[in-house]
Structure 1
């Protein structure tokens, strides 16, 4: 699609014919588009279409949007897709077949939806009156479909025969016509009445395709801005080396990835249940269509004065973004709709269907049924620490279900789909999958780089909950910049002596062992002089001092290492390989299958406040808070699911992990702010939700701050100069 658009509709040609595009004349590339069948990829084959669906059509819309393809393409496919939706579950009648066949043959179309017209019964037909809001693609459209409301408020959809009343308007988007339709006493014969599509399906189709186009616009804006700031020199160096510019560009990438995820999720929801469609449609409006306006404006500000000139293409993309965002209406409406939908349903982000891998389900289910009958005798840890031991845990470890993605004999070598199935079977029985917390990161490093003796000594006992781990990485002078750490390990007979200080070490006061980075070669470049050790937390010279947090709890610690002896068998890999091993540790987290739940400002908690009516402010504002927080959670879940699917297909997910980390922290922070505002005076009480929210900094600081992650995205993903 990208190649097609660049070939048939380069931006120079689009600029040369702006006057024609605004009046609705067919663009020169229309015949080439018809030959490719792009206008009807989603329509039935027996009408001349491609027989695909909205998801495939969204791919086309995204790439043609990135190329700013002018003309009636998007209004036409929106209209034909909505008309076909009215025939869901029933055969086409004569009118439906006529319209869909005409669109497959190349007719242009426009959709005057939204119920701007009134319909009064007249014999077997209707008399329609009213004036539409501005409609994209209306001038020049050959097949117009409109929606009216009967006296009882029910929708009446009809095909509009060629008639006057279409007025062309000066559009913000110079590449696409816009007009208004006025009908006075217009008679609609019964044979021109169309079956009414489900309203949630109409919203989904329109928002999914507009979101796809918006994601294409945001992609162009990102590419254009990044390309410019890499080469534009100010104060003797590229402006892309300035941190403020890097952060702005990195956030453009984050928002662009979120938009792609929202558009994809809406498009794939086309065959889902109505409740799922309502959620996905509103999410697409909030996370893709509306933010495209800001993305285009950010592009212009990064370009500087040149981006504000008529000759630069940036304003054309900005105009398109404003136009489609205006077409869907105010974001407040979609926040309310999403909040209302979230009261009744949650979006399904499952990786597997309920009937996939029946043999695995049966095998896992039998073990879990057995586990449910075993007394829960685990020794629960405090704070973030995992539970220890227990007969249930032992049985799960024996069956490979503590970490099913591990290779045998420790796990089941489960891929993403297998992990999803196993997770569903746990959830079905009300069981929580065990977590080793820090051990979930350390053990993959041992499995990949450890010796047979290390694996035998540590892996099985960790899986059974006999060993709890901590991570001795961060130091007072080396937080996010781990390569600057100063803890030293010097050679002694039989092993190493480690001295130094670690800080912000989660669970060190409960851990049995710690994975420790220490400098073994002070003369080597800072990334190359590190080694990876396993430290017995009960060894002589280890002192743990708990740090009391703002919450009043002590989950972080300072750890002082004073000539701590570590035998050679507790060095992982070779001396100097510590950085590479640390990267493995930090990157190896268990795949999150399905929805990613927010902890602060969680939609579940907002729903509870609404149900209990224990919130400050109006019901409508509370619904909008629920809508905004649900949008954030859905955005994370869509990114996570797309990443899992990409890994299944061996596709490079690029910035996916970094984007997920950045937006997770942003979503937690913004969600927390929204939830606290709802509490009112109840937030003065320590054991209220406000006390819970005091733990937010742990999310914002853990794994690198938002600012550090933005630096990573800007420099390592976007390639901006340091």
Structure 2
């Protein structure tokens, strides 16, 4: 995916990519590589004729009258094709001055003039020069330059990812395509993660520029500076690595993109300096707030939803859940009568108005997985029996999927279900089961046919946890607590009416969700440990190293939120989730694990005495618990390594 989100933006990106590809950019770069005086005038003539450098300049001044987001989309598309010459400097200068032209800009006093020199530097596709006396752009101009440069970084990263993936699909070694090797899959999946982060941060800087709030724009620009340029360079290096020896040759184009990425990073300034500024802003209360543009679609429905949210808020705390269930506001994306079958806009407005009224919806936990399956695939009797009580919290669910020999590889499970009079007899062992000790019911996968391929012989059962033959044994985790359990099933009887769909459908059911996916409104909070790190930065003297680390943690958490915003915007536009929805879990896990570890690290050697100082430092005790507990996040729900395999195969199309 690119910076473009809406249909119009996607069309703009595609048309500009096609136009840029027609310019023969790479050929021009190579032809000019040995000519210090070359300024790519032929390319500039085409740029000027198309007006690509002045898309965001008002029409009254001779520009395109577009937005900064439009300009960023154009620069990303042109960077993907490595359009040479002064396009970036011209776009920055045109936007700052309000006049279309072939501008050269000096972003920092005493630094480099962008696109204003004649010599060939590291980046063979541009010509920069040494700055003379006089000041460069002011702070607003600097933010403009970084915003647009981030868009170019996104284009560089995208080309490098696409090139690496396409090569991995066809290059053969050891009798197989290298894209089938797990090491290559993981490298490409990590490149995808970085690409999505770069694109989200670049997009947001442009969105913030258009919004006109200087504080928010400054924050978004620093997040982009902390994210995009190191990210583009890392993806470019990953591309060379996947290409192998051919990627190290002068003849391949990969080094030209690596050079562009390195040059952009050098021009924009220090990512660590940006991280320090992010910390300063965060400690003063700044968080990135992205307002979703609902294009007026919310206006007919918002008054009634607001009134209902306020009515629920006026009820006693203990009565709110039942009212949310009755309204369909607890699960508005579910079909009636248990939800509203709400479209994405309605879901977002309900989120916004409940948040405004300070009404918090209870977490359904495992019921959030079990009940949609029953809704979509169960019988009327099963829906009547389980759905509403689950919503009201009268039924607590657990999940009996994982086994000692079948964690991420559920198809290899061994719990067997044998036919008996009136139902099935289940025998086996499950593990890593949260809340099994107090659950009323469980969703359970068991093998009903051992003579068919593994994934075809599995059935989906609803198991009452107080049935004879069930034994629950607690498992103590690294935190010292017992959140998980082992569950042993010894000839546990499950009646036929507790089979969901048909025998053998279990694998399909385990992977399915409601077609009308939940759309969530992103909040401004950064996550528990990141907020805790910001608190530590505001109350203690962390020194520059600590403040830089906190700033990078804030940047990553902000990017994770932006991925969610972009997914929501796609849904509002009538599209399914893009790659960012899959990447969000991988980056979110990294954010939570790294930030919880950072919080403990920032407190120095007090960690070694945490038991001794617990009375005086209760916060550190909780911080240590959080650090240890988050280690499970890269295992639960599919390990990070398995999810990278899935991303590589299903999103990038690499061979199995």
**TM-score if structure 1 supplies the norm length?**
0.83
In the alignment, does 2:610 pair up with 1:685?
yes
Following the alignment from structure 1 to structure 2, what is the Cα–Cα distance between the partners of residues 364 and 27?
A: 57
Measure how far apart 1:33 and its partner are. 2.5
Following the alignment from structure 2 to structure 1, what is the Cα–Cα distance between the partners of residues 471 and 206?
A: 55
Following the alignment from structure 1 to structure 2, what is the Cα–Cα distance between the partners of residues 542 and 586?
A: 30
Alpha carbons of structure 1 residues 441 and 352: separation in structure 2 relative to 1, 3 Å: farther
Following the alignment from structure 1 to structure 2, what is the Cα–Cα distance between the partners of residues 269 and 65?
A: 21
Counterpart for residue 220 of structure 2: 280
SS of match in other structure, 1:286 = helix
Measure how far apart 1:270 and its partner are. 1.1
Counterpart for residue 304 of structure 2: 363
Measure how far apart 1:320 and its partner are. 0.5
Measure how far apart 1:489 and its partner are. 1.4
Measure how far apart 1:354 and its partner are. 12
Counterpart for residue 615 of structure 2: none
Aligned positions of 1:15-94 closer than 5 A? 15-19=30-34, 22-23=36-37, 25-84=39-98
Following the alignment from structure 2 to structure 1, what is the Cα–Cα distance between the partners of residues 349 and 20?
A: 41
Following the alignment from structure 1 to structure 2, what is the Cα–Cα distance between the partners of residues 638 and 23?
A: 42
Counterpart for residue 551 of structure 1: 479
In the alignment, does 2:599 pair up with 1:675?
yes
Following the alignment from structure 2 to structure 1, what is the Cα–Cα distance between the partners of residues 431 and 124?
A: 57
Measure how far apart 1:478 and its partner are. 0.6
Measure how far apart 1:693 and its partner are. 1.7
Following the alignment from structure 1 to structure 2, what is the Cα–Cα distance between the partners of residues 612 and 29?
A: 54
Following the alignment from structure 1 to structure 2, what is the Cα–Cα distance between the partners of residues 349 and 491?
A: 55
Following the alignment from structure 2 to structure 1, what is the Cα–Cα distance between the partners of residues 277 and 314?
A: 43
Greater alpha carbon shift after TM alignment, 707-716 vs 247-256: 707-716
Aligned positions of 1:90-239 closer than 5 A? 100=99, 103=100, 107-114=101-108, 116=109, 132-139=110-117, 168-183=118-133, 199=139, 201-239=140-178
Asked if structure 2 preserves the Cα contact closer than 8 Å seen for 1:24 and 1:176, the reply is: no
Counterpart for residue 608 of structure 1: 535
Aligned positions of 1:445-460 closer than 5 A? 445-460=373-388
Counterpart for residue 204 of structure 2: 265
Measure how far apart 1:169 and its partner are. 4.1
Asked if structure 2 preserves the Cα contact closer than 8 Å seen for 1:441 and 1:588, the reply is: no
Counterpart for residue 87 of structure 1: none
SS of match in other structure, 2:365 = coil
Measure how far apart 1:301 and its partner are. 1.8
Normalized per residue, the structure richer in helix is 2
Encode CA deviations 1:325-373: one digit per residue, 9 max, x unaligned: 0001121111111112222311013436799735644434444434444
Following the alignment from structure 2 to structure 1, what is the Cα–Cα distance between the partners of residues 310 and 572?
A: 29
Measure how far apart 1:274 and its partner are. 1.5
Asked if structure 2 preserves the Cα contact closer than 8 Å seen for 1:203 and 1:281, the reply is: no
Following the alignment from structure 1 to structure 2, what is the Cα–Cα distance between the partners of residues 644 and 328?
A: 30
In the alignment, does 2:249 pair up with 1:321?
no
Greater alpha carbon shift after TM alignment, 581-590 vs 497-506: 581-590
In the alignment, does 2:412 pair up with 1:412?
no
In the alignment, does 2:276 pair up with 1:342?
no
Following the alignment from structure 1 to structure 2, what is the Cα–Cα distance between the partners of residues 276 and 355?
A: 23
Aligned positions of 1:281-300 closer than 5 A? 281-300=221-240
Measure how far apart 1:175 and its partner are. 0.8
Measure how far apart 1:419 and its partner are. 2.2
Asked if structure 2 preserves the Cα contact closer than 8 Å seen for 1:350 and 1:594, the reply is: no
Following the alignment from structure 2 to structure 1, what is the Cα–Cα distance between the partners of residues 648 and 450?
A: 30
Following the alignment from structure 2 to structure 1, what is the Cα–Cα distance between the partners of residues 465 and 295?
A: 44
Counterpart for residue 639 of structure 2: 705
Counterpart for residue 9 of structure 1: 24
Asked if structure 1 preserves the Cα contact closer than 8 Å seen for 2:226 and 2:555, the reply is: yes
Encode CA deviations 1:101-132: one digit per residue, 9 max, x unaligned: xx2xxx31111132x2xxxxxxxxxxxxxxx3
Following the alignment from structure 2 to structure 1, what is the Cα–Cα distance between the partners of residues 574 and 107?
A: 42
Counterpart for residue 160 of structure 1: none
In the alignment, does 2:463 pair up with 1:529?
no
Counterpart for residue 93 of structure 1: none
Alpha carbons of structure 1 residues 376 and 458: separation in structure 2 relative to 1, 3 Å: same
Following the alignment from structure 1 to structure 2, what is the Cα–Cα distance between the partners of residues 719 and 360?
A: 41
Counterpart for residue 350 of structure 2: 422
Instruction: State the structure with bigger RCO (CA 8 A, min sep 6), 1 or 2.
Output: 2
**TM-score if structure 2 supplies the norm length?**
0.91
Measure how far apart 1:521 and its partner are. 1.3
Alpha carbons of structure 1 residues 442 and 351: separation in structure 2 relative to 1, 3 Å: farther
SS of match in other structure, 1:29 = helix
Following the alignment from structure 1 to structure 2, what is the Cα–Cα distance between the partners of residues 14 and 681?
A: 54
Following the alignment from structure 2 to structure 1, what is the Cα–Cα distance between the partners of residues 466 and 94?
A: 70
Which runs of 5 or more structure 1 residues have no equivalent in the other structure? Answer: 85-99, 117-131, 140-167, 189-193, 378-390
Encode CA deviations 1:355-404: one digit per residue, 9 max, x unaligned: 97356444344444344444334xxxxxxxxxxxxx32112211212112
> What is the CA RMSD across the aligned residues, in angstroms?
2.4
Following the alignment from structure 2 to structure 1, what is the Cα–Cα distance between the partners of residues 39 and 84?
A: 11
Count, aligned residues = 629
Counterpart for residue 464 of structure 1: 392
In the alignment, does 2:559 pair up with 1:635?
yes
Alpha carbons of structure 1 residues 503 and 588: separation in structure 2 relative to 1, 3 Å: farther
Asked if structure 2 preserves the Cα contact closer than 8 Å seen for 1:600 and 1:669, the reply is: no
Asked if structure 1 preserves the Cα contact closer than 8 Å seen for 2:54 and 2:95, the reply is: no
Following the alignment from structure 1 to structure 2, what is the Cα–Cα distance between the partners of residues 280 and 563?
A: 58
SS of match in other structure, 2:131 = strand
Measure how far apart 1:587 and its partner are. 9.6
Counterpart for residue 429 of structure 2: 501
Alpha carbons of structure 1 residues 526 and 656: separation in structure 2 relative to 1, 3 Å: farther
Counterpart for residue 254 of structure 1: 193
SS of match in other structure, 1:695 = helix
Asked if structure 2 preserves the Cα contact closer than 8 Å seen for 1:600 and 1:693, the reply is: no
Encode CA deviations 1:228-267: one digit per residue, 9 max, x unaligned: 2233233332332222222111101111111111111111
Counterpart for residue 304 of structure 1: 244
Following the alignment from structure 2 to structure 1, what is the Cα–Cα distance between the partners of residues 526 and 414?
A: 35
Greater alpha carbon shift after TM alignment, 230-239 vs 661-670: 230-239
Encode CA deviations 1:53-83: one digit per residue, 9 max, x unaligned: 1100111111110111111111100111122
Greater alpha carbon shift after TM alignment, 582-591 vs 9-18: 582-591
Asked if structure 2 preserves the Cα contact closer than 8 Å seen for 1:661 and 1:709, the reply is: no
Asked if structure 1 preserves the Cα contact closer than 8 Å seen for 2:105 and 2:113, the reply is: yes
